[in-house]
Amino acid sequence: MKNEFTQVMSERTDTELVKIVTIDSGKYNPMALEAAHGEIEKRRLDPVKFSAIKDKITNRANNILYVESKTAIRLLRFVNFVIDFIIWLFLIAVGSYAIELFIHPKNESLITFLIFFLYFGTYLGYYAIMEIKCQKTIGKFITKTTVVKSNGDRPSAGDIITRTLCRLIPLDRLSFLLTNHGFHDRLSQTKVINDRLK
């Protein structure tokens, strides 16, 4: 029997239909659910395939809930920031000393370029290298937190580079005043979770 949702459901993928009739069933009205069930029957979706899709969707949903339950609180995020900021300042101090030691003081344009490169290179390099290799910075090692994708998976190098570049957004640090997730978390679809709850 056709209803107003029949056409809409016919355009959904198998995965979307299974999600609608299982874990998202409470979000849909009865007529939409009836249309989704009808489309599944019409496609003669194999019960084994249906079960496999359902398991995959359920696991993904459980992983997201698990990550949400372990999200690091703002205080830990602030402690991470302070520790990592101190380490960054130390790297700048060491780099500045090396520049002064090896570059002639009269070569001001080279010194200016190297100082600029030092500031941004150490900042981006520290976060990117540490989080790509270890999923955490030294601050996160100390607070026992780690970076993951929103679904709990390990972030790719691209995710971490996006996350690192987004830290340069001027109001990124202030974004934590309203939520546990800053701009660099949201834009890279990553989260910082507490390792101690594993």
Place of tokens 């290799």: 133
List of the chain residues with pLDDT < 70: 1-3, 104-105, 177, 196-198
pLDDT tens digits for range 76-107: 888 999 999 999 999 999 988 888 777 766 77
Identity (one letter) of the amino acid at 145? T
The predicted structure's pLDDT at residue 176: 72
**Cα–Cα distance measured from residue 106 to residue 33, given in angstroms and rounded to the nearest whole number:** 76
The predicted structure's pLDDT at residue 155: 95
CA distances from 107 to 44, 110, 183 (A): 76, 6, 39
The predicted structure's pLDDT at residue 74: 86
CA nearest to 193, candidates 130, 134, 140, 132 = 140
The predicted structure's pLDDT at residue 104: 67
Do 32 and 24 contact (CB within 8 A), yes or no?
no
